[in-house]
């Protein structure tokens, strides 16, 4: 048994190293004063100074933020309505709807992105930032739905019924009683939806118009055109830092949900 535990620990540490060691190396070399990508010769902030002065980076960052914000609001609102309806009411096709909401999580994202692009071309809709938002919502709503529905599983409908008994109508009971109880789940769903949109590359790449770039797309363009320059390490470090902050906040909120 002790041998098995040692093997399991070694396997776990190996997997973690394979996942996080490249990120650690990327962060270290973002401070490299040499243009070498394999030899660290000294510490410098020059790559970050170059990044700060690059207006295209901040334009892409702005696109990622406002797109993620819109996607988050739309995805969470739709997820709340779907989760509430599926959890509270009995109707024909309920199981089918619940299964359909999980499809975007199961199928490969590139397949979903390609089919969405073909659909947009067939019906004659030109690519724009709005098609990017549609693509992100179609993918992110499933994640938000799963989290909100999990929160609904522990919700006692008697609280809402008590509010109605005391004179509140359905809308007031929902906004004053149900939503505050679901608040931790809604916050977790919002963070997940924002992170999925903020980090998304495949769906954005397939549905964006020419000239519209988010941070993941900009990183791809820099790497493909300039052969992975060192200031790209600084940009990737910046993206990783933001993602880790949101992931930490999400985990703290999800602890309250589950």
Q: Where along the chain do its domains lie? A: 48-257
pLDDT score of 229: 63
pLDDT score of 250: 67
pLDDT score of 258: 53
Please state the separation of Cα 245 from the chain's center in Å. 13
pLDDT score of 179: 80
pLDDT score of 255: 66
The mean pLDDT value of the chain amounts to: 81
**pLDDT tens digits, residue range 81-103?**
888 888 777 777 778 888 888 88
Distances (CA, A) of 56 to 53, 196, 214: 9, 22, 10
Please identify every stretch of the chain with a pLDDT value under 70, giving residue numbers as ranges.
1, 34-39, 154, 225-230, 250, 253-258
pLDDT score of 38: 65
> 148 near 189, Cβ under 8 Å?
yes
pLDDT score of 1: 57
Task: Report the length, in residues, of the chain.
Answer: 258
Looking at residue 93, the DSSP 8-state letter turns out to be T
For the domain covering 48-257, report its CATH number: 1.10.3720.10
pLDDT score of 175: 77
């Amino acid at each position: 048994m002790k041998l098995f535990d040692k093997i399991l620990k070694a396997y776990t540490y190996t997997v973690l190293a394979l996942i996080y060691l490249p990120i650690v190396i990327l962060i270290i070399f973002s401070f490299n004063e040499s243009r070498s990508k394999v030899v660290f010769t000294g510490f410098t902030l020059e790559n970050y100074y170059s990044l700060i002065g690059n207006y295209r980076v901040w334009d892409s960052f702005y696109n990622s933020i406002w797109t993620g914000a819109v996607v988050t609001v739309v995805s969470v609102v739709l997820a709340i309505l779907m989760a509430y309806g599926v959890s509270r009411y009995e109707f024909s096709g309920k199981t089918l709807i619940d299964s359909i909401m999980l499809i975007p999580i199961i199928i490969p994202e590139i397949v979903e992105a390609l089919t969405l692009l073909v659909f947009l071309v067939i019906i004659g809709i030109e690519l724009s930032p709005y098609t990017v938002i549609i693509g992100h919502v179609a993918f992110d709503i499933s994640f938000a739905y799963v989290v909100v529905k999990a929160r609904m599983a522990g919700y006692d409908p008697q609280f809402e019924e008590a509010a109605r008994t005391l004179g509140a109508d359905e809308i007031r009971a929902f906004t004053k009683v149900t939503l505050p109880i679901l608040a931790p789940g809604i916050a977790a769903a919002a963070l997940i939806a924002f992170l999925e949109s903020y980090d998304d590359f495949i769906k954005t790449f397939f549905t964006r118009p020419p000239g519209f770039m988010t941070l993941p797309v900009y990183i791809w363009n820099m790497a493909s055109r300039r052969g992975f320059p060192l200031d790209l390490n600084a940009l990737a470090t910046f993206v990783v830092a933001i993602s880790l902050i949101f992931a930490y906040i999400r985990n703290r909120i999800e602890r309250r949900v589950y």
